[in-house]
Chain A
Amino acid sequence: MPKVLRADNMNKCLGCFTCMLTCAAVNHNNHNLAKSSIKVKTRGGLQSKFAATVCVACKEPACAEACPTNALVKRPGGGVKLIEEKCIACEKCVSACIVGSIHMDYDRKIPIVCKHCGACVRMCPHNCLSMEEVSE
C-alpha cells in the first residue's frame, strides 16, 4: 500500500530542523534548508509551538489541476509527482496549493514538491512525523 507523510505530533517538535536539512540534502543535493519541501516554523515567535507545513497528499491535487503542461501527475495514495522536463516554471502550482506546501527553487527553476519519500520521518529525533499507509 502506498504511504504518505503525516506531521501529526508537532507538539513535541524541538525545532531542530533535521527534517529540513535531510530533505534538502537527500532530495535536492543542497545544504540550504530553503530547498526543503517540509517547512517547520513557529506559530508566532519562539515562545509558541512549532508547526510543519507538509504536502497533505490530496486525492484531488489542486496543484496538478492548475499546471498547464501536465508536469504534475497524481501519485498513488495522494499527492503528485513532478516531471521536470515538462515544467515551464509558471508558478501556478505554488498559489494553487491551499496549505502552502509548494515553493519555487529559483536556482533550478522548478517547484519543490514533496515526494513522500519518508527521509524526514526517519531522521526526526522526537517522533513528530510518520508515514501513514493509505488506499490507492
Chain B
Amino acid sequence: MIGKDFIRVLYIDLTNKKADIQEREDLYKYLGGAGVAAKLLEENMKKGVDPLHESQPLIISIGPLSTIFPVVTKAVATFVSPHTGEYGESHAGGRLAMAIRNAGYDAIVITGKAQKPTYLVITDKNIEFKDARAMWGLDIEETGRVIREREPGPGKRSIIRIGRAGENLVTYSCVNVDTYRHFGRLGIGAVFGSKNLKAMMIMGEEDLPISNLKEYFKTYQEIYKKVTQTDAMAKYHELGTPMNIKVLNSISSLPTKNLLQSTFEHADDISGETFAEKNLVRKVSCVGCPIGCIHIGQFRREFDKGYEYESIAVSYDHELIYALGSLLGIKTTDEVLQIIDEVELAGLDAISTGVVLAWATEALKKGLISREDTLADLEFGNTMEYVKAIDNIADRVNEFYYTIGKGLKEAVKKYGGEEFALLYGGNEMAGYHTGYAFALGQTVGARHSHLDNAGYSYDQSAKELKDEEIIDYVINEEKERAVLTSLCICLFARKVYDRSTILKALNAVGINWTNDDLTRLANDVFFTKLKIKKELGYSLENYKFPKRIFETPTMWGKMDEERLNRLLKMYIERVEKEYEDWSRGK
C-alpha cells in the first residue's frame, strides 16, 4: 500500500463466495509484482495436486510504484501451470494495475471454484460474485461488451476475461486484459476456466494521498523525460516490435515454417514496415505509459458475395507475426491479422497456438497424424485451414484436438514428432532463432519465456559466443529482471530504470531501500521461484532439446547439440550451488 509497510492482500474464496483482507507486513520485503506473487503462490499452492484442481490458487500482484511512475504498467499473475505442471507466471499491462491500485489492494489471491459461471466485481467499496452463465461460450469481445454495459465506471475500469479456450481448459488458453493485452502464456486461461471464473472487473476511487508532492513529481518528470526522449524506447512507438521481422530475417534468425528455415522469402511482405504501410490505424498505451507500443492493424474481410465487407482491428506484435505468420508460411499482412483475430476471440496464447499448428502441419505431411484427425488441410501458407484448426483447438472437437490442446509436450507423447516440436523447457518456442543464449535462456527461465533473461539479446550483441559469458549473462539478467518485475516495471523501460533510477523512485514515495536491498530482492525472488519449481516436481535432468533447432542455422550458423547440452549442464551446476548457499543463508 502506498505509504504503508505492508502488502494489502485480498483473498477470494469462490466456493463459498467469501472474501478476506490481510495486511501482510512479512511480504513487504518482496516489494510487489513477481516477488509477492511468487511468495503467495508458494504458501497457497497444493503440491501433488492437479494444477486445475479447485484448491489451487490464482494470484495477481502489483507493486509500490504501479501507475504512479511512467511505464510501471504491469500486473503479475502466478499459478500452477496446467501447461507445464510447474511454476506459472505471466505479466499483463492494460488498465489492470491501475484498477487494482485504485481499488485499494496490492495483491489478490483467488481459490476455490464457483458453483456456476461467475464474474467478479472488485471495487474499493464492494466485492461481488455475479452470474455469468449467459456469458459462458461468448468470445473475448462480446464478454467485454456485456460487462462494459452492465457495470458502472467507464474509462477507469479493467475487464479481464477468458474465451472458449479457457472455458474448455486448453492448457495454453490466455486471459484477455482490456482488449489489447493479455496474460498470455502457460495456461492461466484454463485456471480461470477451471474455477468457473469467466471474467473480473476491477475499479476504484480509493483515496491515495501523496505524502511528498514536490519530490514525487520532480522524480516523475525526470523519469518521464528519460522515457520520452531516450531513443531506446522510441522504437517501441514507431514500428514497435514488428520491426524485428526484417532484422531477424536479415541475420537468418527468423523461425519460418516450423523452423525448417530461418529466413522467410516473404519476410518483406509481413514486415513491421509493411504492416505500418498497409494496416496500422492507431497506437494505444497501457495506463501510465507515454510511449504507446500497442499497434493496431486493421483489415477488411469479405464475409459474403455482393461486396459485403466487415472491418477488423487487432493488435499485432513481433511474436504474433512470427508464430501466426512466418512460422506458418503466411504471405500477407491481412492474412496474418486474420489468424491473430481468430486466436484472440477464442482466447488462446498466440505463440503456443502458432507453434502447435506448425508442428501439426509437418506431422500431417509426414503421416504421423491424418486428415481425419486434423479436419483441415494444414499446409504452410494456407490461412483459412489454420483458422479452422484454431477453432477446433478452442472447442477441442475430437481426440486429436483434445490432445494438442494440452500443448506439444503431450502431443508428441501420443503422436511422436518430438524432433520437430519446437519446445524449450516444456513451453513452445518464442520468435528468435539467434543462438545458444536464446535456446538456453528460454529453457532455464523460470517461466520458460524468452523475456525471463532475453538470451536473444546476448546472441545478437556478442562479438563471440563464450560459454562462461553465456551462463553469467543468463543468470544475472534473470536476477535483474526479478527486480524489475517485482516492481511491475514494463521490461521495455529496462534501460530507463537502472538501479539508481529505481532507488530514486522508491525513495520519492518513502521506500528508503538501498542498492544492496535490491540485490537481496533479486536473489530472493530468483531462488524462491526455483524452490517452487522443485517442489512442484520440476527438473532439467535428462532434458533433451528438439533436433530441429540444430538442423536450421542461427545467425551463428548451426548450433552444436553437444555444446548446448554442456551449457545446460554448466548452468544447472552453477545455479544449484548458488541455490544451496541461498537456502542455507535463510
- Check A16–B285 contact: CB distance below 8 A: yes
The DSSP consensus for interface residues of chain A is loop
Specify which of A30, A49, A126 is in contact with B210 (CB 8 Å cutoff).
Answer: A30
Which residues of the other chain, B, contact A123 by a CB distance below 8 angstroms? 224, 290
**Alpha-carbon distance between A41 and B95 when the two chains are bound, in angstroms:** 12
**Alpha-carbon distance between A45 and B289 when the two chains are bound, in angstroms:** 19
Which residues of the other chain, A, contact B155 by a CB distance below 8 angstroms? 39-42
A109 at the interface (CB under 8 A from B): no
- Check B283–A32 contact: CB distance below 8 A: no
A89 at the interface (CB under 8 A from B): no
A26 at the interface (CB under 8 A from B): yes
- Check A45–B98 contact: CB distance below 8 A: no
- Check B208–A31 contact: CB distance below 8 A: yes
**Alpha-carbon distance between A40 and B156 when the two chains are bound, in angstroms:** 9
B29 at the interface (CB under 8 A from A): no
Nearest A residue to B2 by beta-carbon distance?
Answer: A31
Place the interface of chain A in its size category: 20 to 34
Nearest A residue to B178 by beta-carbon distance?
Answer: A46
Known: A14-B290, A17-B287, A126-B292. A25 touches B216 (CB 8 A): yes
B126 to chain A, nearest CB (A): 15
A21 at the interface (CB under 8 A from B): yes
B63 to chain A, nearest CB (A): 13
Nearest A residue to B315 by beta-carbon distance?
Answer: A46
**Alpha-carbon distance between A33 and B213 when the two chains are bound, in angstroms:** 15
Which residues in chain B, 196-221, are within 8 Å of chain A measured between CB atoms? Answer: 204-210, 213, 216-217, 220
- Check A18–B217 contact: CB distance below 8 A: no
Q: Mark A1-40, 1 if CB is under 8 A from B, else 0.
A: 0000000000000111110010001100111111000011
B316 to chain A, nearest CB (A): 14
Which residues of the other chain, B, contact A32 by a CB distance below 8 angstroms? 101-102, 204-208
**Alpha-carbon distance between A123 and B227 when the two chains are bound, in angstroms:** 12
A68 at the interface (CB under 8 A from B): no
A-B contact count (CB 8 A): 92
**Alpha-carbon distance between A106 and B124 when the two chains are bound, in angstroms:** 13
Nearest A residue to B293 by beta-carbon distance?
Answer: A14
Which residues of the other chain, B, contact A136 by a CB distance below 8 angstroms? none
A119 to chain B, nearest CB (A): 9
B494 at the interface (CB under 8 A from A): no
Specify which of B141, B154, B206, B288 is in contact with A21 (CB 8 Å cutoff).
Answer: B288
Specify which of A14, A17, A30, A45 is in contact with B207 (CB 8 Å cutoff).
Answer: A30
Known: A31-B2, A46-B179. A14 touches B284 (CB 8 A): yes
- Check A34–B145 contact: CB distance below 8 A: no
- Check A45–B283 contact: CB distance below 8 A: no
- Check B210–A33 contact: CB distance below 8 A: no
Which residues in chain B, 265-285, are within 8 Å of chain A measured between CB atoms? Answer: 282-285
Which A residues form the contact surface with B (CB < 8 A)?
14-18, 21, 25-26, 29-34, 39-42, 45-47, 49, 106-107, 123, 125-126
24 residue pairs A–B, Cβ–Cβ below 8 Å:
A16-B289, A17-B285, A17-B287, A18-B290, A21-B288, A25-B68, A25-B217, A26-B213, A29-B210, A29-B213, A30-B208, A30-B209, A30-B210, A31-B68, A31-B101, A32-B102, A32-B205, A32-B208, A42-B154, A42-B155, A123-B224, A123-B290, A125-B228, A126-B290
Which B residues form the contact surface with A (CB < 8 A)?
2, 67-68, 70, 98, 101-102, 141, 144-145, 148, 154-156, 178-180, 204-210, 213, 216-217, 220, 224, 228, 282-292, 313
